[in-house]
Structure 1
Amino acid sequence: MGVARTIAQPSNPTDAAVLTRGLVKRYGGFRAVDGLDLNVPAHGVYGLLGPNGAGKSTTMKLLLGLTSPTGGDMWMLGEKVDGRHRSQPGRVGSLIEGPSFYPGLSGLDNCRMVADYLNLPRSAAPAVLRQVGLSGHEGRKAKEYSLGMKQRLGIAMALISRPELLLLDEPTNGLDAQAVVEVREMIMALSREQGITVIVSSHILSEIEKMAPVVGVIASGRLLYQGSLDALREEGRIDLRVSDPQLAATMLAADGVACRWVPDPDDAGAAGRGVLRIAELPDERIAGLVGRLVGQGVDVYRVASERKTLEQAFLELIDGGAR
């Protein structure tokens, strides 16, 4: 379980929006990021999922050049990123550890200030505020905004350059239920309607599940899984309760099917009784295996298929990574 299961790495970094190989960030003897191999597809929402302290924020800071890696390589939007190379200003937008703005300025003036810094026309400010749903609130001081509105303002400031890649660190953290839905829908719309690649970090599985079809699961700075949430959810098992577990196990091994003996939760009082647990297999394969077992005199009392819930799969992954 401690070995990362990942989607195939592209041979050319230009095939991915973000690609890292062996990325490491060490603080003394502590590895905040430990050999990370991210592969973020372009033009979609990618979820960076893991518990608090997993290394999500550090990873985003590394990508943005806010801290320097101890080792490894990074590419963003096809460009190598290191101490000598940085992404072209404006191609990447970000919201890291909460929005940063001048509370005494209006939402409009905060956006205009970012436009001035990037040598962009000030006329971009009203449009981007409309885009994030802050129309009618442009003239209000930022300190008067609700928490959800402040998050929207932070995202607007990140979007003013019309970036190709957007990095959002825990963008729904601390929001009420309605604001969470609004921010989530806005993130999905940015990807769907404008083709922006969005990397969203979160420690909340249900939030990532609702907006990111592809995820990287990290714990203790290590990548434990990378791929679709559907593939993580579909992992399952089949339990076979048989009259002769030893013979059945030998026959299954000869058929190329790995199995292990586990206590039968429905028959805990019977000494020595248990089930043979195998990976999920197609119905036709199971029918053939059962037929061969019965043909060799092994009684098959029960065949039980169980699929993990997404939450079970996620928690087992995190627990295994921690061990």
Structure 2
Amino acid sequence: MKVLEVKNVKKKLGKKEIIKGISFSVEEGEIFGFLGPNGAGKTTTIRMLVGLIAPNEGTIQILGHDIQKDREKALANLGAVVENPELYGYLSGRENLMQIARIRKVPKEEVEEIIKLIGLENRIGDKVKKYSLGMKQRLGLGAALLGNPKLMILDEPTNGLDPSGILDFREIVKNAAKERGMSVFVSSHILSEVQHLCDRVAFINGGEIKSVEMVNEDGVATQKDTMVIVTTDDDKAVEVMKELEAIHSVNIYDGEVVVSIDKGNSPKLVQELVAKNIEIIEIYRKHKGLEQRYMELVEGGVR
């Protein structure tokens, strides 16, 4: 089920077109990354997703409700942590959550569940002005989770956090998505954070989405494998490989043959080389990291 669906959305600020017809969707329970450099259009997109500004063209739907035509129902399913959470420093963490819970008619039992989920049981009675940045980010996430939204929007959620805070925040988001079946949309320019957190990622630059791709712990899950091969006769190996249909490119770098091949065809490649009496000294798959893919799509090539 599509929890968020964005179709051909465009946005002008003054005469300048900031968002140039973007389309994507987020599935139920999915953690979806929105990755791009500063000025790419990430913040403008998020402001449209949470209803702060309206698109000039296109539609945004949350659980099938158009955010322009059926705003109340669409936003009822939405939680968001945009930049620094707005919290009352003179109140305790629990009092902050209870204020929001009363407005949203959320029972106290759910507030206590949220406190456990965000790991603030030992400090929830302290005034928020005594909280570290990481604790404030956790509390802001807890506030957004009240009411059990089906979609969570996070804008640069780990900005300013130390490595320990980033790890904690990441686990909280993953657990919330898993336990509550919640979809998460994460906007960031931090490549490692997106790679460790997200299931899919959209690469945006210049107001356009360049690609939407699957992500795993090794990098981008593409339809091609990059294989590195060392043989006793690299020149002959290259000639053989260029004749194979599954091969997209073959190059020699620093005494190694680097091959782009359709996923699942590596065994056939080995069989062909052996059949041509080419001795293979070493062969391994080179994982395509998110950084490399980012440079290809956003920066126009690998540096």
Q: TM-score range by the shorter chain?
A: 0.7 to 0.9
Name the amino acid aligned to 1:20: V
Q: Are positions 1:208 and 2:191 aligned together? A: no
Question: Residues 117 and 309 from structure 1, CA distance in 2 versus in 1: closer, same or farther, beyond 3 angstroms?
Answer: same
Give the structure 1 partner of residue 294 of structure 2. 314
Residue 220 of structure 2 aligns to a residue whose secondary structure is helix
For residues 304 and 172 of structure 1, the distance between their equivalents in structure 2, rounded to whole angstroms, comes to: 38
The alignment's TM-score, normalised by the length of structure 1, stands at: 0.76
Structure 1: which 5+ runs fail to align?
A: 1-14, 268-274
What secondary structure is seen at the aligned counterpart in 2 of 1:232? Answer: strand
User: Residues 61 and 87 (structure 1 numbering): CA distance in 2 closer, same or farther, change over 3 Å?
Assistant: farther
Residue aligned with 2:299, SS: helix
**Alignment RMSD (CA, Å):** 3.4
- 1:239 and 1:64 map into 2 onto residues whose CA distance is 45
| Partner residue in 2 for 1:132 | 118
Percent identical across equivalent pairs? 29
Q: CA deviation at 1:57?
A: 2.4
Q: 1:320 corresponds to which letter in structure 2?
A: G
Whether the aligned pair in 1 keeps the contact of 2:4 and 2:63 (CA below 8 Å) is: yes
> What residue is the counterpart of 2:132 in the other structure?
146
Residue aligned with 1:38, SS: strand
Q: Would the alpha carbon gap of residues 300 and 313 (structure 1) be closer, same or farther in structure 2, given more than 3 Å must change?
A: farther
Matches within 5 A, 1:184-203: 184-203=170-189
Distance 2:188 2:258 in 1: 37
- How many residue pairs align between the two structures? 293
Q: 1:93–1:163: 8 Å Cα contact kept in structure 2?
A: yes
For residues 209 and 287 of structure 1, the distance between their equivalents in structure 2, rounded to whole angstroms, comes to: 31
Q: CA deviation at 1:194?
A: 1.7
Q: What is the CA–CA distance in structure 2 between the aligned matches of 1:124 and 1:306, rounded to whole Å?
A: 47
Amino acid at match of 1:208: V
1:289 to 1:187, Cα distance in 2 relative to 1, 3 A:
same
CA spacing shift, 1:205–1:278, aligned 2, 3 Å: closer
Larger fraction in strand = 2
Aligned 8 A contact 1:106 1:142 in 2: yes
How many angstroms does 1:308 deviate by? 4.8
Which whole-Å CA distance do the structure 2 matches of 1:287 and 1:107 have between them? 61
The equivalent of 1:283 in structure 2 is 266
Do the aligned partners of residues 288 and 123 (structure 1) sit closer, same or farther apart at CA in structure 2, a change above 3 Å counting? closer
Indicate the residue corresponding to 1:53 in structure 2: 39
Quick one: which of 211, 217, 225 aligns to 2:211? 225
Counterpart of 2:91 in structure 1 is 105
Q: Specify whether residues 83 and 306 from structure 1 end up closer, same or farther in structure 2 by C-alpha distance, changes over 3 A only.
A: same
Q: Deviations over 1:177-233 (max 9, x none)?
A: 111111111111101112111222221121122221222222222212213114824
Which residue does 2:160 correspond to in 1?
Answer: 174
Q: Is the 2:250–2:258 contact (alpha carbons within 8 Å) kept by the matching residues of 1?
A: yes
CA distance in 1, matches of 2:228, 2:117: 52
Q: 1:285 to 1:184 in 2, by over 3 A?
A: same
Name the CA distance, whole Å, in 2 between partners of 1:139 and 1:302: 63
Deviation at 1:162, TM superposition (A): 1.6
Letter in 1 for 2:197: M
In 1: Cα distance, 2:68 partner to 2:262 partner: 43
Q: Quick check: which has more Rg, 1 or 2?
A: 1
1:94 is matched with 80
Q: Return 175-184 or 280-289, whichever deviates more.
A: 280-289
Cα separation, partners in 2 of 1:107 and 1:313, compared to 1, 3 Å: same
Amino acid at match of 1:149: M
Distance 1:26 1:308 in 2: 39
Which stretch shows the higher mean deviation, 170-179 or 51-60? 51-60
Unpaired runs of at least 5, structure 2: none
